[in-house]
Amino acid sequence: MARLIMFHGRECPHCKKMMPLIEKLEQETPVRFEKLEVWHDEKNADLMRSFREAIAPKCGNQLRVPTFLNADTKDAACGEVDYDKLKDWALKQV
């Protein structure tokens, strides 16, 4: 199983909106995300920074949250996405 990470921020409204969709996705599919908060946990922040080359080109050249990352293939998606799009992306990763 690929290592899928959701980088999120505690006070990011986009992340807050995506969280229930992630939970729904995990209930309906075998997909599992590691949910790593980056503004209050420097270790998680450094991990996200270490994937900058993979994340930034897909996210307006920024380290945006939420970011969904396949840590093995370095495929990334970010921002608020609708459920079906998120599901398509996630299922391609596993």
Residues that bind other proteins (CB under 8 A): 7, 9-16, 38-40, 45, 48-49, 52, 60, 62-65
Residue number, 38 or 90, with CB nearest to other proteins: 38
Residue number, 2 or 12, with CB nearest to other proteins: 12
Q: Please, what is the minimum distance in Å from the beta carbon of residue 88 to other proteins?
A: 22
Q: Which long-range contacts (CB under 8 A, 24 or more apart) does 71-80 make?
A: 71/2, 71/3, 71/4, 71/5, 72/2, 72/3, 73/2, 76/51, 79/14, 80/14, 80/17, 80/18
Residue number, 49 or 85, with CB nearest to other proteins: 49
Q: Please, what is the minimum distance in Å from the beta carbon of residue 11 to other proteins?
A: 3
CA distance 90 to 40: 26
Residue number, 55 or 90, with CB nearest to other proteins: 55
In the numeric block, which tokens belong to residue 24? 């729904």
CA distance 48 to 67: 9
Q: Please, what is the minimum distance in Å from the beta carbon of residue 27 to other proteins?
A: 25
